[in-house]
């Protein structure tokens, strides 16, 4: 069983949607992250929302629409080093803080985000 499966049951789609919205507010205010996105970030925001729904145990709409996530492959066009990883994690952690989640849920989500962010590093 996916250890993150219970997150969706505990917080639901609306809070995952809110997390995604908060994250993109953080991206918009971070020049290093912002330059990686197109002017209109709504498509990226929707894809992240669908992805997080799926990862945390909700509907599998991301895979239905886009196929297997293949995160590393989808992010190869950008140079992601430890500094960029840190910008991304800081934005996501700030977004998580705004949700005011139960500590165990927040810790589980943070654990996932750290693992994925480390996996996406593709540049020294």
* Cα–Cα nearest to 114, from 94, 89, 78: 89
Range with lowest mean pLDDT among 2-11, 35-44, 54-63, 89-98 = 2-11
| Maximum alpha-carbon separation in the chain | 38
Residue 1 pLDDT level (bands cut at 50, 70, 90): very low
Residue 68 pLDDT level (bands cut at 50, 70, 90): confident
- Per-residue pLDDT tens over the stretch 107-121: 999 999 999 999 999
Identify the residue whose tokens are 């952690």: 93
C-alpha to C-alpha distances, 30 to 19, 25, 34, 39, nearest whole angstrom: 17, 9, 6, 14
For residues 73 and 98, the model is more confident at: 98
Contacts of 70 (CB under 8 A, 6+ apart): none
CA 80 to chain CA mean position, Å: 15
Helix, strand, coil shares of the chain, percent, nearest 5, are 70, 0, 30
pLDDT (0 to 100) of residue 42: 97
pLDDT (0 to 100) of residue 59: 94
* 96, two tokens: 């998580």
- Regarding pTM above 0.75, the answer is yes
Enter the CATH code of domain 5-119. 1.10.490.10
């Amino acid at each position: 069983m996916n250890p993150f499966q219970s997150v969706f049951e505990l917080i639901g789609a609306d809070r995952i949607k809110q997390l995604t919205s908060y994250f993109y507010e953080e991206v918009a205010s971070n020049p290093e992250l912002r330059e990686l996105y197109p002017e209109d970030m709504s498509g990226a925001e929707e894809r992240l929302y669908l992805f997080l729904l799926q990862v945390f145990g909700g509907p599998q709409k991301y895979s239905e629409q886009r196929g297997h996530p293949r995160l590393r492959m989808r992010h190869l066009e950008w140079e992601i080093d430890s500094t960029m990883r840190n910008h991304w994690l800081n934005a996501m952690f700030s977004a998580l803080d705004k949700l005011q989640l139960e500590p165990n849920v927040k810790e589980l989500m943070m654990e996932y985000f750290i693992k994925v962010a480390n996996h996406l590093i593709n540049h020294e």
